Amino acid sequence: MAKAAKRITGDEAAGLVQSGMWLDYGAVLGQPDVFDAALAKRLGTVTNLRFRSVLTARPRAVLEADAEGKHVHWFSTHFSGYDRRKHDAGMAHYLPVNLGEVPDYYRRFIDPIDIVVFKAAPMDAQGFFNFGPNTLWMRALVERGKTIIVEETPNLPYVMGEGTGVHVSEVDYIIPGSDGPLAELPKAPASDVDKAVARLIAQEVEDGSCLQIGIGGMPNAVCSLLAESPVSDLGIHTEMMTDGIVDLFRAGRVTGAKKQINPGKMVCTFALGAQYLYDFLDHNPQVEFHPVDYTNLPHVIMQNDKVVAINNTTQIDLQGQAASESDGFRHISGTGGQLQFMRGAYASRGGKSFMCLASTYDKRGERRSRIVTALTRGNVVTTPRTDIMYVVTEYGIVNLKGRSIAERAKLLISIAHPDFREELERDAYEHRLIPRGFF
């Protein structure tokens, strides 16, 4: 006999929490607000609380209430800017993952969770609460949670696809959520460098290509250029649905007609952007949300032909190792789906992967090269040298597949900022990355 979910208040739900518990706040826009605020009032009465989540989109009341970090331990599988600030303050911790493997981690390696609480759209006629644009590993959380609490949120978009909801029979408690606006991610403006990189990538995108596009100024610039180009019948199989992809669809460039799997559908696992993105997703059958172990695993990605994966990095060495998630020992973001999409795109028939970066950056008023002889001490390798295909800066595009270390070094130096090329070449010879007399 199915259990009956009980409707309670946020304060009553927070009253279920005991010291030492593991809680899971779900993901991105699905992190609870009402429950979070209620639990923050109990800190001190309850202590040693441990939370898992990903990409915190707005400040968390429990973290703000625990200013000295005495009661809350926050674990994230991918940092947002807020998570990063809390990590800098010693209150947040990174959990290294390939994002597409996370459902398996919960099912195989993570102990059952004391309380799982997340936002969901109001219950539909079939008794399902829709996760909204936060499918990711939510089904795995429901399976592994000892107590499931739904924060019923009226303004959360109702998304279509697989694994997008939880039935009321699987829920223990329902609490009323806020009807306030959802967190938005401002669209990063494209710089001249972003546009130069985007032009090089856009020239490589063919009719019928299936795109994975990340977030930021460079991916936005790629979308804008493709929207103005004559390219046709693009497909979307991506991790994150963004404003730029919506713009590309509205420009008529995306049909999905040439996709081998999920033809005619834009496939993703979560979304973050402006309100017009959320409005576009609501009850839209042209967009299919799937669990992240469908969107991100290479053996699924490769089933579409001409997959084009476009990702950013912050530093790359002369052997081709890309460090995309840290600045030395300071953690910035996460591995996310970068490595898995790079591999899936390469394995796709006619597929291409692009690692994008500006040639330089400024740090403490000093201009530095992002292409370096050796990675900064402590920097994490997100994508190994063996997986790198195209590397793109504003100075050009090179393909490292099938290239020796010496060839890679020469190619990468050729797209570094001109002010740093002589020094990079000198270092490469000194450290025998390029042997003397090499052609």
The domain spanning residue 284 has which CATH number?
Answer: 3.40.1080.20
**Spatial separation of the C-alpha atoms in residues 222 and 199, rounded to whole Å:** 7
Q: What is the pLDDT of residue 145?
A: 97
Residue 140 covered by a domain: yes
What is the arithmetic mean of pLDDT over 77-83? 96
pTM: 0.95
Residue 407 covered by a domain: yes
Shared-domain flag, residues 352 and 328 = yes
Shared-domain flag, residues 168 and 267 = no
Shared-domain flag, residues 257 and 222 = yes
Q: What is the pLDDT of residue 1?
A: 40
**Spatial separation of the C-alpha atoms in residues 100 and 84, rounded to whole Å:** 21
Instruction: Report which DSSP code applies to 399.
Output: E
**Spatial separation of the C-alpha atoms in residues 311 and 397, rounded to whole Å:** 14
- What's 106's domain CATH number? 3.40.1080.10
Q: What is the pLDDT of residue 438?
A: 67
Whether the per-residue pLDDT at 301 is higher than 90: the answer is yes
Strand partners, 40: none
The secondary element (H helix, E strand) that includes residue 139 is helix 138-144
pLDDT-based confidence at 106, cuts 50/70/90? very high
Q: Which of 115, 150, 176 is the last residue of a domain?
A: 176
- Which amino acid, one-letter code, is at 208? G
Instruction: Report which DSSP code applies to 256.
Output: -
Shared-domain flag, residues 157 and 197 = no
Q: What is the pLDDT of residue 159?
A: 98
**Spatial separation of the C-alpha atoms in residues 45 and 39, rounded to whole Å:** 10
As for how many domains the chain has, the answer is 2
Q: What is the pLDDT of residue 279?
A: 97
Shared-domain flag, residues 225 and 134 = no
Q: What is the pLDDT of residue 216?
A: 78
DSSP string of 66-105, one letter each residue: -TTSSSEEEEESS--HHHHHHHHTT-EEE----GGGHHHH
**Helix intervals (H) in 229-271:** 243-250
Cβ 162 vs Cβ 292: under 8 Å: no
Question: Among residues 243, 226, 288, 246, which one has the least CA distance to residue 263?
Answer: 288
Q: CA quadruple 271, 277, 283, 287: dihedral positive or negative?
A: negative
Cβ 433 vs Cβ 409: under 8 Å: yes
Whether the per-residue pLDDT at 220 is higher than 90: the answer is no
**Spatial separation of the C-alpha atoms in residues 169 and 127, rounded to whole Å:** 8
Enter the tokens of residue 91.
Answer: 């209150």
State the catalytic residues.
239
Q: What is the pLDDT of residue 84?
A: 96
Shared-domain flag, residues 138 and 217 = no
Q: How high is the mean pLDDT of the chain?
A: 95
Tell me phi and psi for residue 28, to 5 degrees.
Answer: 45, -120
Shared-domain flag, residues 133 and 213 = no
Instruction: Report which DSSP code applies to 43.
Output: B
**Spatial separation of the C-alpha atoms in residues 182 and 29, rounded to whole Å:** 7
Q: What is the pLDDT of residue 374?
A: 96
Enter the tokens of residue 145.
Answer: 């949670």
Q: What is the pLDDT of residue 110?
A: 95
